[in-house]
Amino acid sequence: MIQCPTPSAERAIRDRHSERGSSAYTFFGVIILAAVVVGAVVFFPWSDVFRGGEDKLLNDANRALNAGKWKEAAALFEQSLKTNPANPVAHIGRSRAFVQLGDLDKALEEASLALKYDPKSAAGYAQKGVVEKLQGKTDQALKDLSEAVKLNPGYSWAHAQRADVCLRANKVEEGIESVNKALQLKPGFVEALLLRARIYTRMGNCKEAYEDFTKAEQLRPNDAISLQDKAWFLLTCPDEKLQNAAQAVELAKKAYTLSGGKDGLVLETLAEALFRQGDPQTAVEHQKKAIDLQLKKCPDGSCVKEMRERLLKYELAARQEMRKDYEILPLYSGS
């Protein structure tokens, strides 16, 4: 005879099943929780958390760089590199700061380190190329800037820098191709417009150069460099029909005001404009100030050679010609 379980026995059986189910669920819950924890430890970007201080230093360094505080920027990049010596971004930033400080050897060293830690860095090759351009290493600069645009075909700044190197190497047609590419990528790239205008001037295409200078002026009506570049063109372009000394004086005076009289090239442009307008004495005064300002950038005087030659031209024109010991009275009178 089979005995049926009593109601109390049934409840006991259900409770035992429930306890086993709860134990099973608890066991699997622990396994899942452990997996989540392990995943968090393994896959969570903890490096970003620990780089928080470094990122702040990088941000501060970049802000200092953009504000023109070159020494501060270089020091902040150096602090960041103590935390992460293999960071190519910090090396590139420090290189840029050293360029502005005039230490091209250190700038080249930093750019080279950036490429050591990231051999495929287009920014690293571009920065290295710019430093080499400033050092007069034209062939190497062209090679590195070519590599930069190969790695990043959309790098408009690198295309423009490559065009500048081509112009310095007298590879004018190749320079036009590079600067056109830069402007195709970034139509409002004022510096590229000014560069193309200079290349056109070198080629004798003064009409095209005038159009680029004018467009640059329209894009930046209160930019001293754009204004002085156009003024210089109006004074020196090979097509005499486009030369306009009066307009050049006005542009140069505006550029002088905008720059606060602290830009040597702007002052030299104003000096040339005044000379062409028949005021060599004032031209001499401005040219001397221009040379003093430029000497701060190159204490060895390498960047003011042509400026001194123009100063001599102004001084000769301003000199009062007088004959000494010239006898105007007759030495003998018959009366």
Report pLDDT for 144.
98
Domain assignment of residue 98, yes or no: no
**Phi-psi map region of 251: left, alpha, beta (phi>0 left; psi -120 to 50 alpha):** alpha
pLDDT average per 10 residues of sequence, the chain (335 residues):
43 42 42 40 38 73 92 94 94 95 94 97 97 96 98 97 95 95 96 95 92 95 94 92 93 95 94 94 95 86 90 90 70 67
Q: Is 152 helix (H, G, I), strand (E, B) or coil?
A: coil
Residue 297 tokens read as 């950038």
Question: What are the b/e assignments for 247-282, b being 16+ CB within 10 Å?
Answer: ebbebbbbbbebbeeebbbbbbbbbbbbbbeebbee
CA dist., res. 62 & res. 313, Å (int): 44
Would 108 be classed as within a structural domain? no
C-alpha to C-alpha distance for 224 and 258, rounded to whole angstroms: 6
What local confidence, expressed as pLDDT, does residue 209 receive?
A: 95
Helix (H) / strand (E) element for 258: namely: helix 245-258
Question: Distance of alpha carbon 213 from its chain centroid, rounded?
Answer: 20
* pLDDT of 320: 72
Give domain status of residue 123, yes or no: no
In a domain, 85, yes or no: no
Instruction: For residues 334 and 106, give the distance between their C-alpha atoms in angstroms, rounded to a whole number.
Output: 83
- Specify if 199 maps to a domain: no
92 vs 308: CA distance, rounded Å = 35
d(CA 177, CA 175): 5
Does residue 143 form part of some domain? no
Q: Is residue 292 in some structural domain?
A: yes
Residue range(s) defining the domain that contains residue 273: 222-318
pTM of the model: 0.73
Helix (H, G, I), strand (E, B) or coil at 77: helix
Q: At 294, which CATH number?
A: 1.25.40.10
Output the pLDDT for position 32: 41
Reference 114, options 81, 87, 132, 79; nearest CA is 87
Nearest-CA neighbor of 190 among 213, 206, 167? 213
Tally of domains in the chain: 1
Q: Is residue 257 part of a domain?
A: yes
| Nearest one of 177, 219, 176 to 198, comparing CA atoms | 176
Nearest to 255 by CA among 267, 273, 237: 267
Distance CA 335, CA 323 (A): 29
Which residues have a Cβ under 8 Å from the Cβ of 314 and sit 6 or more positions away? 271, 275, 280, 283, 284, 287
